[in-house]
């Protein structure tokens, strides 16, 4: 599919947009750089992946949703739509080209240079992005995928909110799920509020939660919920096992730390009434700091550490997990006894901080709500286990696979 869009380079869409290059490829579509031959400026062309897709209708609906949102929600800090059309049987969207990278790229640049992401930078983007979010919320829209990759900057450091493909309007959109029909999360798990993970009603406070995650990550260099898969992230968020921001950065003002932690509350009612309220507390406190002195007086940057599964897997642990899977297939239900038995058998591996053992137990906690229920979706459970141990010789339908 990506190679298909390579054939677009050099072609002109609607006798106007000459494709120059591919800026990005994602799971849902491609982002292309083009030259607008009418306005003589560079623009962005956004195209969904459609061919050979088993989820054609959902992809089309997401794309139509983004076009609709951008056409009605005009705000100085939302990337504006310029045009839309069809080419080679693909719908496309034309957006202003915001040319100075994302918040993520600026955070990564600071990390790679072992520097701080300056607290002063918040003064230049947090009020504007908070305003954009409050604006869409006042129109009964919710973004649902607020993250550093979706905050863009132009060459004057003006920030823009982008990517409304999974946004939601409660006035006419009755979807109430955290996942799409083809199983992928609607949103990015590390930034999703608890209610979004659970498929419950979302509000503007769900986007506020995501904004608080970004602020936490910018200040500390760490994600507050850094599980290694969606299951472990979900458990961390719902158990609220987040380290207070001030413990990462001792010299950060307590007022800022407390405000971010409040916006990360499990209960939406305990968060701020708006993103602007959260922003105001942070900005007012930052204005009291003297940025003419060394920024590290207030801030120490910690590189983000992403845990990885070990290359060598303990053979005894694999045998324990395979035996569990066979019992699971035979019983057709993840009973409380099976759940308890595997926790006991993997305890020695978990005590040694074996990452895979923790991941497997996280999966069981997710599907049983920490042992409270007995799920019957065995195929899905074993599929998740095999994502962690791909060479496990088990199939949910037929037991052990042929060697």
Rounded to the nearest integer, the mean pLDDT of the chain is 79
Of residues 187 and 401, more confidently modeled: 187
Residue 96 vs residue 311, higher pLDDT:
96
pLDDT band of residue 376 (cuts 50, 70, 90) is: confident
Q: Once rounded to an integer, what is the mean pLDDT over residues 67-87?
A: 88
Average pLDDT, stretch 127-152? 93
CATH code 1.10.510.10 for 103-297 = yes
Q: What is the distance between the terminal CA atoms of the chain, rounded to a whole angstrom?
A: 34
Most confident range, picked from 202-216, 282-296, 345-359: 202-216
Give me the residue spans of the domains in the chain.
2-96, 103-297, 315-400
**180: pLDDT confidence band, cut at 50, 70 and 90?**
very low
Query: Max CA-CA distance within the chain?
Result: 69
The answer to whether the CB of 197 falls within 8 A of the CB of 238 is yes
338-373: per-residue pLDDT in tens?
888 888 888 777 555 466 777 787 777 777 766 667
Query: Averaged over 131-137, what is the pLDDT?
Result: 96
Tokens 């607020």 sit on residue: 146
Confidence of residue 182 (pLDDT cuts 50, 70, 90): very low
pLDDT tens digits, one per residue of 32-47: 999 999 999 999 998 8
Helix (H) or strand (E) holding 125: helix 122-138
Q: Which residue has the tokens 């798990």?
A: 189
More confident residue, 206 or 384: 206
Residue 331's pLDDT is what? 87
**Per-residue pLDDT band at 239 (split at 50, 70, 90):** confident
**pTM, to two decimals:** 0.71
Which 3 state secondary structure label does DSSP give 25? strand
In this structure, the strands spanning 159-161 and 168-169 are unpaired
For residues 218-224, average pLDDT: 89
Q: What angle do CA 276, 277, 282 make, to 5 degrees?
A: 95
> How far is the C-alpha of 325 from the C-alpha of 328, rounded, in Å?
5
Q: How far is CA 331 from CA 198, 328, 373, 377, 399, in A?
A: 27, 5, 15, 12, 12
- Give yes or no for a contact between 286 and 122, defined as CB atoms under 8 angstroms apart: yes
Indicate the pLDDT class of residue 27, thresholds 50, 70 and 90. Answer: low
More confident of the two residues 84 and 177: 84
Mean pLDDT of 192-201: 86
Laid out side by side, the sheet with 90-96 consists of 12-13, 17-25, 29-36, 41-48, 90-96, 81-87
CA 236, CA 231: separation in Å to the nearest integer? 9
pLDDT in tens, 184-196: 445 678 899 988 8
Q: Does domain 2-96 have CATH number 3.30.230.10?
A: no
Tell me how far CA of residue 6 lies from CA of 11, 30, 31, 49, 108, in angstroms. Answer: 10, 10, 11, 13, 28
Strand partners, 154: none
Q: Is the pLDDT of residue 302 over 70?
A: no
Question: Is 113 a residue whose pLDDT tops 80?
Answer: no
Please provide residue 23's backbone torsions phi and psi, each rounded to the nearest 5 degrees: -85, -35
Q: Which residue has the higher pLDDT, 96 or 304?
A: 96
Beta bridge partners of 185: 179
Strand locations in 71-219, DSSP E?
81-87, 90-96, 141-142, 151-153, 159-161, 168-169
Whether the predicted pLDDT of 399 surpasses 50: no
């Amino acid at each position: 599919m990506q190679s298909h869009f390579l054939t677009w380079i050099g072609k002109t869409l609607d006798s106007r947009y000459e494709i120059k290059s591919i800026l990005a490829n994602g799971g849902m579509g491609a982002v292309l750089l083009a030259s607008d031959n009418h306005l003589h400026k560079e623009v962005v062309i956004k195209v969904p992946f459609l061919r050979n897709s088993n989820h054609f209708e959902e992809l089309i609906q997401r794309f139509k949703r983004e076009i609709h949102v951008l056409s009605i929600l005009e705000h100085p800090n939302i990337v504006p739509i310029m045009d839309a059309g069809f080419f080679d049987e693909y719908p496309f969207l034309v957006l202003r080209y915001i040319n100075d990278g994302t918040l993520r790229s600026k955070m990564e640049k600071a990390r790679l240079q072992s520097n701080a992401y300056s607290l002063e930078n918040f003064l230049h983007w947090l009020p504007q992005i908070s305003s954009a979010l409050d604006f869409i919320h006042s129109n009964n829209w919710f973004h649902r995928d607020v993250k550093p990759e979706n905050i863009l900057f132009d060459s004057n450091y003006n920030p823009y909110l982008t990517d409304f493909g999974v946004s939601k309007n409660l006035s006419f959109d009755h979807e109430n799920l955290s996942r799409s029909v083809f199983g992928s999360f609607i949103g990015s798990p590390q930034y999703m509020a608890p209610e979004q993970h659970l498929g419950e009603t979302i509000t503007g406070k769900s986007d506020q939660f995501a904004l608080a995650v970004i602020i936490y990550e910018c200040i500390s260099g760490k994600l507050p919920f850094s599980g290694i898969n969606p299951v472990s992230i979900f458990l961390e968020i719902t158990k609220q096992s987040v380290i207070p921001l001030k413990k990462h950065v001792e010299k950060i003002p307590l007022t800022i730390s407390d405000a971010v932690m409040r916006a990360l509350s499990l209960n939406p009612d305990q968060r701020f009434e708006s993103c602007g309220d959260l922003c105001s507390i942070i900005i007012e406190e930052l204005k009291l700091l003297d940025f003419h002195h060394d920024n590290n007086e207030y801030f120490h940057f910690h590189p983000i550490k992403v845990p990885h599964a070990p290359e060598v897997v303990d053979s005894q642990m694999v045998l324990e997990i395979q035996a569990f899977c066979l019992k699971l297939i035979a019983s057709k239900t993840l009973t409380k006894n099976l759940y308890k038995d595997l926790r006991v058998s993997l305890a020695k591996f978990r005590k040694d901080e074996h990452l895979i053992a923790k991941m497997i137990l996280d999966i069981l906690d997710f599907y049983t709500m920490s042992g409270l229920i007995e799920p019957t979706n065995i195929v899905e459970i074993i599929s998740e286990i095999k994502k962690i141990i791909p060479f496990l010789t088990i199939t949910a339908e037929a037991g052990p696979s042929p060697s």
